[in-house]
Amino acid sequence: MKIEKDIQDFDAVGDNHIGTSSETPMRSDAFELTSSEKIDIIKDDVRHIMETLGLDLNDDSLKGTPKRVAKMFVNEIFGGLNPDKKPSASTFENKYKYGEMLVEKNITVYSTCEHHLLPIVGKAHVAYISNGTVVGLSKMNRIVDYFAKRPQVQERLTIQVVKELQKVLNTEDVACVIDAKHLCVNSRGIRDVDSSTVTSEFGGKFKNKETKREFLDYIKLDTTF
């Protein structure tokens, strides 16, 4: 039957972590509902899932779960879907004429696999070479966090971080490496608890072998204080 083949195809995509686009797939009507309206709808859907699983939502420990999950989805772990939450990234003139690469490493990544809605946890390392402007250091962390807070595949997240910083800084010379553990691999399926996934995106001068090597050497430095 066609529906069975479709299910098999969808499972194959998810288990192989295939992404369909460098942009997050969004419907044209994605923002017609308010956050409060989305929470009310998701709350009912979560309740239905829990009841279908046989859980007793009259229990004191469970009765608030549907609302808590709905608020978490909309306001927290998928908050990066809301363009209003996109961090403003003010740039400044590079008055001190710093001409080497700037590296912000060990940025904490908390994201969610879009295939199984399980956590992705890891570190991002981001660098750029100024062409006349610089950006506040915390903004690099906030950009990573914004794009991480949505259903993701790691390859897309890596590309989105680089593209956004390229736009903000008006330069192609941006790089990002992410090393993360996927609980859809670690806690289900193959259940390989030790494996992690590394992705990278190099733009402009970072495609040069020596510049790329310099960046990779920087992120190996021990920064334990």
Catalytic residues: 113-116, 154, 182, 184
- Classify residue 133 as exposed, middle or buried by CB count within 10 Å of its CB (0-12, 13-18, 19+): middle
Do 111 and 120 contact (CB within 8 A), yes or no?
Answer: yes
Structure tokens that stand for 6 in this block: 């479709």
DSSP 3-state of 74: helix
Structure tokens that stand for 188 in this block: 């289900």
Instruction: Tabulate helix, strand, coil % of the chain (nearest 5).
Output: 45, 20, 35
Do 81 and 26 contact (CB within 8 A), yes or no?
Answer: yes
> Of the candidates 120, 95, 112, 176, which has an alpha carbon nearest to the alpha carbon of residue 149?
112
Sequence-separated (6 or more) residues with CB below 8 Å from residue 94? 130, 132, 133, 134
